A = this chain, B = another copy of it.
Amino acid sequence: MKIEILAVGSELLSPFFQDTNSLYLTRRLNDLGLDVTRKTVVGDDFEELSGAIRAAAAGSDLVLIMGGLGPTGDDITREACAEALGRPLVFKEELLVRIEERFKRRGKVMPPSNRTQANLLEGAEVLQNDNGTASGQWLLYGKTRLALLPGPPRELKPMFEAAVWPKLQDWRKGATKRLAFKITGLTESEVEGRIADLYPKIPELRLTILSSPGQIEIHLTSFGEEGAGGAAAALEILGGEIGRRLGDHVFSSAGEELEEVVGRLLGEGRRTLATAESCSGGLLAGRITNVSGSSAYFLEGFITYSNRAKSARLGVSEDLILARGAVSPEVARAMAMGVRIQSGADYGLAVTGIAGPTGRTPEKPVGLVYTALAWDGGEDVRRNLFLGGREPVKFQSAQKALDMLRRRLIGAGTI
């Protein structure tokens, strides 16, 4: 079973744009238990495109062609298909009427160039486009099935779901199950070390690790007969074991971001939060307020970049800043306590550190960040040494602060 995805457009051969439709199509094909064999990108060049279509049609069971169905002279996918497959284009009056009506509904007259979009490959079936003038086409060529799809994602996706997806069901190799763990507080090699012996040995069960500074994700996917006990059951068992081994380092196995988990926990407990940030510069509050409904638990945030602001807003003693430095566990603690008192929130979170590339001293390197949490009855401060540039350091700072609060809210130990 060979499947090729062919993306058409000279802009996809520039340094500026990349095909992303294929990620979506791959995900949906994986849902059927099908793998993509090859992805190809060609420009708006008749010889190249017809050659690529000819090769794909000869070597594949399914070819998904995207782009080049517009009305301009650059849009040559229909013509290149006709040439490659030896199928003439047939003008379809009913397609023209649909396109003209689409313009009319918007109070416009169809430009003559759109006439070309009423051309259908002989023997092809129309794939209706509810979001544009470019009809898709579905075609059998020998044993090969071909789909011509529009390039814009907001046209391609609905068309694929409505018109192509049903046609692929007889190839379904069973149900697909997915499980994704999101983890913080461990490095990639620590995560791998804990689960190295669990890597699945059957092709129907896949494990993928995605790693970025401050967050690791483990994605499990199983393909298999529906109802059978095979890969789907193995996924459940594997997922359970991974969950046990990683414990409360897993902050979500339901797709949530860390700020969503913290927001949900705060909401459930009817608790409130305020933040005080230095080096993270508003990113912590920014992530918290990315969650819709955060105004229910997030009271306010302070970005106390200057020492004066740390004293004036949060009541951090000027003597303490002078004695210990703005980047110190003592100042981090005082910031968390201060923002909690000033705001009246149940929890105060604070970040102070050196995001770099400037500002380091021999004792305080770039990436040194103190994160602190204050609550009714106590405080906790952590010393962190984060790697990466300014933005990764800021992200990891916010991540660590959020995770300290998450651990407190679920009653887990600090790390």
Taking Cβ atoms with an 8 Å cutoff, the residues of A that contact B are: 11-16, 18, 20, 23-24, 26-27, 30, 35-43, 45, 48, 51-52, 55, 59, 208, 210, 219, 275, 277, 279-286, 288-290, 292-295, 298-306, 308-309, 313, 343, 355-359, 390-391, 394
Q: Are B281 and A285 in contact, with the CB atoms below 8 A?
A: yes
Known contacts A289-B305, A293-B358; decide if A48 and B41 are in contact (CB<8 Å). no
A358 CA / B293 CA spacing, docked (Å): 7
Nearest-neighbor residue (CB-CB) of A31 within chain B:
B15
CA distance A369 to B59 in the complex (A): 54
Check A299–B305 contact: CB distance below 8 A: yes
Q: Which residue of B lies closest to A55 (CB)?
A: B55
CB contacts (< 8 Å) of A219 on chain B: these are: 16
Q: Once bound together, how far apart are the Cα atoms of A318 and B289, in whole Å?
A: 23
Q: Nearest chain-B residue to A27 (Cβ)?
A: B15
| Interchain CB contact under 8 A, A292 and B37 | no
Picked from B18, B282, B394, the residue with its CB within 8 Å of the CB of A301 is: B282
Q: Give Cα distance in the complex from A306 to B289, angstroms.
A: 12
Q: How far is the CA of A248 from the CA of B14 in the complex (A)?
A: 28
For this complex, 22 residue pairs linking A to B, each with C-beta atoms less than 8 Å apart, are A13-B36, A13-B37, A14-B26, A14-B30, A14-B208, A15-B24, A15-B26, A16-B208, A18-B23, A40-B41, A51-B59, A281-B285, A282-B285, A282-B289, A286-B394, A289-B394, A292-B356, A298-B305, A299-B309, A301-B301, A301-B303, A303-B303
CA of A336 to CA of B409 in the docked complex: distance in angstroms?
35
Take A48-B37, A313-B300, A390-B290 as given contacts and tell me if A15 and B23 are in contact as well, using a CB distance cutoff of 8 Å: yes
A39→B6 CA distance, assembly (Å): 10
Docked-complex contact B27 and A37, CB < 8 angstroms: no
User: Is the Cβ of B305 less than 8 Å from the Cβ of A303?
Assistant: no
Q: Is the CB of A305 within 8 A of B300?
A: yes
Report chain B residues within 8 Å CB of A390: 290, 292
> Separation in Å of the A31 CB from the closest CB of chain B?
10
- Chain B residues with Cβ below 8 Å from A279 are 289
CA distance A2 to B309 in the complex (A): 60
Q: Could you tell me the distance in whole angstroms from the C-beta of A39 to the nearest C-beta in chain B?
A: 4
- A40–B59 alpha-carbon span in the complex (Å): 15
Complex partner residue of A13 from B39, B42, B343, CB under 8 angstroms: B39
Shortest CB–CB separation between residue A351 and chain B, in angstroms?
A: 12
**How many Å lie between the Cα of A12 and that of B5 in the bound state?**
13
**A299→B306 contact, CB < 8 A:** yes
Chain B residues, Cβ within 8 Å of A289: 279, 281-282, 303, 305, 355, 394
Residues from chain B with a CB closer than 8 A to the CB of A288 are 281-282
Q: What is the CB-to-nearest-CB distance from A325 to chain B, in angstroms, rounded to a whole number?
A: 14
- CB-CB under 8 A for A15 and B40, given A301-B303, A356-B292: no
The CA-CA distance from A59 to B51 in the complex, in Å, is 11
Alpha-carbon gap, A48 to B56, bound state (A)? 12
Q: How far is the CB of A237 from chain B (nearest CB, A)?
A: 22
Given A37-B43, A40-B39: A305 touches B309 (CB 8 Å cut-off): no
Taking the closest CB of chain B, its distance from the CB of A313, in whole angstroms, is: 7
Q: What residues on B are CB-neighbors of A285 within 8 Å?
A: 281-282, 303
Most B-side CB within 10 Å, residue of A48, A51, A282, A288: A282
Are the C-beta atoms of A358 and B292 separated by less than 8 Å? yes
Assess the A11–B208 pair: CB atoms within 8 A. yes
